[in-house]
Amino acid sequence: MNSKMTLEARDTLPPVPRSPLQRFFPGRNDSGASSFTSFDSSDPNEHHNDFFNYALLIVLYTLQGIPMGLSASIPFLIQQKIKTLAASAAAATTGVSSAVTVTDSAAASYNANAIFALCSWPFSLKLLWAPIVDAVFIRKFGRRKSWLVPVQSLAGILMVMGSSFVEHQLGLGPSLNSAINVKGVTAFFFALYFLMATQDIAVDGWALTMLAKKNRGRGPVCNSIGQNLGYFLSFVGFLALNDPESSERVWRPLLGLPSNPSVGLVSLGGFLRIMGYLMIVTTTAVALFKQEAPTVPVKLDRQESNTMWSLLPKQNDDDNDDKELDASEIGLRETYHRLWAVCQLPAVRWLFLILLTYRLPTALGDNVKFLKAVEYGLSRSTTALLSPTVILPLGILVPVVASKIWHGQPLCGQFMTGYKLRVTLAPLLDVLLLTTLQKGKPTTRNESIIFWSILVLSTAVQAIVSSLQFNAQMTFFAHRVDPAIGGSYMTLLNTAANLGGTWPASFVMWLVGHLTKAPVCSPESEGPPVCTAGRDPYFTLQLLFSVLGCIWIFVMGGQVRRIADLPDDAWRTHLLDKESVDEESSTFRLTEFVNSTTAGLWKPGKNDTKGE
């Protein structure tokens, strides 16, 4: 009886009254402070201004994109370093063809980059510690800030203190013949990715409470915009400032610096330190000026404490979706149990299969195309130029435009449209670009126009289709997660998505490296050595992967549409509902047993009747 009364009282509590200032300015608190310094809204259903929350999320996701952009530039440095070492070795050896040197260095660079691609695996493994991030925090400081602030601070310190270490491992010292240690560089960025994966858990969970319920679907848009900004800031910024040719032609004259054609304007170590200080300063500002809504502990009666369903009644009902049951309330063991239950859902299993396979047919264009283009003669400065002029604007505009075009339509339409173009048109343009580069640099005006048109079109198509799929995927996740375990559920789906992009990258790099064969040369007594043709597997692999992509569309396209049409109920475990029914059923059976037993053992006597 007491348990039922307690639950009913909790469900019927009146809403917390708001001051007149809050009614007219819902984005402000009573003191008149702006929403950036105010608490998160305690009533996500209320219409309030999320402008500053959007801005904050974009900033946090931008910080997350900085290590990603830096890691994307490392394969070009590895490629250049191995090519330099191979050229030095060839110069010390007589009778070795330059073609052999180039092909050998290409194979070695792809094998080295296959190892380096492992550095991004923490984003695919973050589910292992995500419940810990949800459960352990300092209540006074803020549930998400308890992890966000120290993790970002550590990442900034690591970038500042480890800058010299990275340069040494890459052999970027004064000596051109310095050895390269790919494993050391991989370990450094693995640690950096681990910190950023932990930050991603905190930010994704914070977005669920920071934004109003009606605006939660725009969280993935903030994710896409922020990561693209961070990627652009670090990848393009570093390649443009580190390239000696660009520095000598553009940056030094612009800044009035003396000429030094042998080195770039900024070294890798210097750029790491700049980004590290930027992350530390931004993290300090968030720690000081942004406050979270206080986390209120759940108080239970003794009679309720042994029943899990009593923690959050009607948790799976749509009218109570704003309250999340997470590891901080149910414990780590129960959180992992619920995630395992999520993995057993047929809809989630099909989604996992889709996420783990659809990136393989596109892995060659995603991970190898620009490395192959640089191998064929495209400069790193040109590669860097494509990001601010093509990739970044499209990465920001496509999610916004796509949300207008596909508004009110199933997200599978947007996803499959992007994928069909990604396995047909994008590979065709990639092959056309690389074939053009193989012929050499353009010499006439018409050749230059054709080359730049193909380059821009190939880059734009890849950016558009990737952004279409990513935006549809993240929006689908946000609308399908069970709110009872929203943060952990979202992390589970993001982990599967990240793993689906990580393993094909290493596999494709390894495949290209092992299938690349250098020409075999036999020395001649007179004249240059005679060499047989080598093997460049890129074009053959591109054809095979495109066919594989078409097969994937034929086999899995129907499943994509089916899971998109499933109701929300198919994505929920209903563990709370089951426990609620079991508890009520057991209580009813116990009551009936006690009543029947008491009726059989006790009967009122005459004295009892008179006493009444």
Look-up of token digits 């396209």: 557
Residues 6+ apart with CB under 8 A from 477: 220, 490, 493, 494, 497
Confidence of residue 329 (pLDDT cuts 50, 70, 90): low
Q: Is the pLDDT of residue 369 over 70?
A: yes
What local confidence, expressed as pLDDT, does residue 1 receive? 44
Q: Poorest-confidence range of 145-159, 178-192, 203-217, 261-275?
A: 203-217
Q: What is the dihedral of CA 193, 198, 201, 204, to 10 degrees?
A: -70
Nearest-angstrom CA–CA distance, 606 and 608 = 5
What local confidence, expressed as pLDDT, does residue 42 receive? 42
- Helix residue spans in 162-291 (DSSP H): 163-169, 182-210, 219-231, 237-242, 244-246, 252-255, 268-289
- Say what percent of the chain tops pLDDT 90: 28
Nearest-angstrom CA–CA distance, 348 and 493 = 9
What do you get for the CA distance between the two ends of the chain, in Å? 26
3-state SS, one letter per residue, for 59-91: HHHHHHHHHHHHHHHHHHHHHHHHHHHHHHHHH
Domains of the chain as residue ranges with CATH:
51-89+97-296+320-517+535-581 (1.20.1250.20)
What local confidence, expressed as pLDDT, does residue 12 receive? 39
Q: What are the structure tokens assigned to 335, written together?
A: 């959180």
Integer CA distances (angstroms), 177 to 85, 93, 109, 134, 171, in order: 6, 15, 16, 48, 8
What local confidence, expressed as pLDDT, does residue 321 receive? 44
Q: What is the mean pLDDT of the chain?
A: 76
Q: What are the structure tokens assigned to 217, written together?
A: 């679907």
Confidence of residue 554 (pLDDT cuts 50, 70, 90): very high
CA 309-311-313 angle, to 5 degrees, is: 60
* Highest mean predicted confidence (pLDDT) among 63-67, 107-111, 574-578, 582-586: 63-67
Q: Is the pLDDT of residue 5 over 70?
A: no
Q: Is the pLDDT of residue 575 over 70?
A: no
Q: Are 189 and 75 in contact (CB under 8 A)?
A: no
Tell me the residue type at 453. S
Q: Poorest-confidence range of 11-20, 149-158, 285-294, 328-337?
A: 11-20
Three-state DSSP state, 182 = helix
Longest distance between any two alpha carbons in the chain, whole Å: 133
Beta-carbon neighbour count of residue 347 at 10 Å? 17
pLDDT digits (tens, 9 = 90+) for 208-226: 778 777 777 777 778 878 8
